[in-house]
Structure 1
Amino acid sequence: MKMNVEVDCTPEEARRFLGLPDLSPVHDAYVKSLLDTMQKGPSPELLESMVKSWAPMGDAGFKMWTQMFEQMSKGAGKG
């Protein structure tokens, strides 16, 4: 026997029914932080941590990324 059940509810209603936590405040805080960073520009510390996570070559890779970002920032100021 095959049975189909169709439930018409919003994602919020489904979340509550299944007992899942409401992560809206966490999501809102993350989006606000991301927007603030985008508007103010990334800090040097943030860029450094991002580049270190991208650079599999260790120190040599980090220096390459640093030089690339410095060249890009110098070129952006000439507009």
Structure 2
Amino acid sequence: MKINVDIDCTPAEARAFMGLPDFEPMQKRTLEVMERRMMEQLENFTPETLLKMWMQPVQLNAEWFQDMLRRATK
């Protein structure tokens, strides 16, 4: 025997029916804080600063590689 039950409800109604907590207000506050922080930090990320951040590891690797070659040829 097979029984199918279809329930038509919203996710909020399903959470309330199952007794699950509603995290929507907390999620909204968290997203607002994240958005505010991102907008504050956006001023620090100009193309010049991003280029410096990306190129720094490349420069360090190049220096390390040159140093390794110097030591290998001694």
TM-score by length of 1: 0.52
Match of 1:35 in 2: 35
| Structure 1: 4+ residue segments shifted above 4 A | none
For 2:6 and 2:53, how far apart are their aligned partners in 1?
Answer: 54
For 1:69 and 1:37, how far apart are their aligned partners in 2?
Answer: 18
Q: Which runs of 5+ in 2 are unaligned?
A: 43-48, 55-74
User: Which of these two proteins has the greater Rg computed from alpha carbons?
Assistant: 2
For 2:37 and 2:6, how far apart are their aligned partners in 1?
Answer: 43
Q: Which runs of 5+ in 1 are unaligned?
A: 43-67, 74-79
Give the partner amino acid of 2:53.
Answer: M
TM-score by length of 2: 0.55
SS in 2 for 1:4: coil
CA-atom RMSD in angstroms: 2.2
CA deviations on 1:41-76 (whole Å, 9 max, x unpaired) are 17xxxxxxxxxxxxxxxxxxxxxxxxx968139xxx
Equivalent residue pairs, number: 47
**Identity level (%):** 40
